[in-house]
């Protein structure tokens, strides 16, 4: 199988690329950090095509897909993995620049990759699109304003794609993790590792390998089975009560 994975330089994306390459698949690994892509290619010199790519840039995505080597053109699985959260400020204090970066990455990145890859899947009547959402797309929390909204988009876009693709053999899935110990929080807190590590202190979070294994299971289901949505959390994470503001 041929996989296209956005954000393959760390976290979920790197775990997925490693898993699928180890299983003998072909992987198109994309990301903005070329040195990490080079490390991946050095470790797996065969069956990999790396692309330094900013998925927010429509023309970059178009060029990358149009110019794929012949042996990588027939993409079987598109994994829209690249995404980020920036900041944890309340909406009234948040940075508009941060909001725009999250929208460009978490929404427009999915749109760009899907737009240029899906038509070839339809032509061949074969393929699977996996979008990385989050429990934040369903359950709000303070400071999750725009990040949660972008993940709600990923969820609904997945379901709407499934509706549009009725009558084809193409499958679509949204994977929606809870707390997972990757570089996610380091990015959110702008490199403050101490603050990021505190998020996962005293509990066993999900790992990137957990997510890669889940996606491996999803795509390996029989062709007549479509997994619409998987929401998963660490055992030590749960739902909170509604909050109330009270006047004394």
pLDDT band at 189 (very low <50, low <70, confident <90, very high): low
Catalytic annotation, pick one of 26, 116, 141, 147? 147
Asked whether residue 110 carries a pLDDT value surpassing 90, the answer given is yes
Question: pLDDT digits over 204-218, tens only?
Answer: 999 999 999 999 999
- For residue 241, name the pLDDT band (cuts at 50, 70, 90): confident
- Is 200 tagged catalytic? no
Q: What domains lie within the chain, and their CATH numbers?
A: 2-232 (3.40.50.720)
pLDDT at residue number 204: 94
Per-residue model confidence (pLDDT) at position 228: 98
d(CA 10, CA 31): 9
- pLDDT value at position 101? 95
Task: Write the secondary structure of 88-125 as one string of H (helix), E (strand) and C (coil).
Answer: CCCCCCCCHHHHHHHHHHHHHHHHHHHHHHHHHHHHHC
């Amino acid at each position: 199988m041929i996989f296209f994975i956005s954000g393959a330089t760390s976290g979920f994306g790197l775990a997925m690329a490693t898993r699928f390459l180890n299983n003998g698949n072909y992987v198109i690994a994309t990301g903005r950090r070329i040195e990490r892509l080079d490390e991946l290619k050095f470790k797996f010199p065969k069956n990999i095509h790396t692309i330094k790519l900013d998925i927010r840039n429509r023309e970059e995505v178009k060029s990358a897909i149009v110019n794929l080597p012949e042996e990588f053109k027939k993409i079987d699985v598109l994994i829209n993995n690249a995404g980020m959260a920036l900041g944890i400020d309340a909406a009234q204090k948040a940075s508009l620049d941060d909001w725009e970066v999250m929208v460009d990455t978490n929404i427009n990145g999915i749109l760009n990759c899907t737009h240029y890859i899906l038509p070839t899947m339809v032509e061949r009547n074969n393929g699977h699109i996996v979008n990385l959402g989050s429990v934040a797309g369903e359950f709000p929390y303070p400071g999750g304003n725009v990040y949660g909204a972008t993940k709600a988009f990923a969820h609904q876009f997945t379901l709407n794609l499934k509706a549009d693709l009725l009558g084809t053999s193409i499958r679509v899935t949204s994977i929606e993790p809870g707390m997972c110990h990757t570089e996610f929080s380091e990015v959110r807190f702008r490199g403050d590792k101490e603050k990021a590590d505190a998020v996962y202190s005293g509990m066993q979070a999900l790992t990137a390998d957990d997510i890669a294994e889940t996606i491996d299971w999803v795509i390996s289901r029989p062709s007549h089975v479509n997994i619409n949505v998987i929401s998963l959390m660490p055992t030590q994470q749960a739902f909170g009560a509604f909050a109330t503001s009270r006047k004394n």
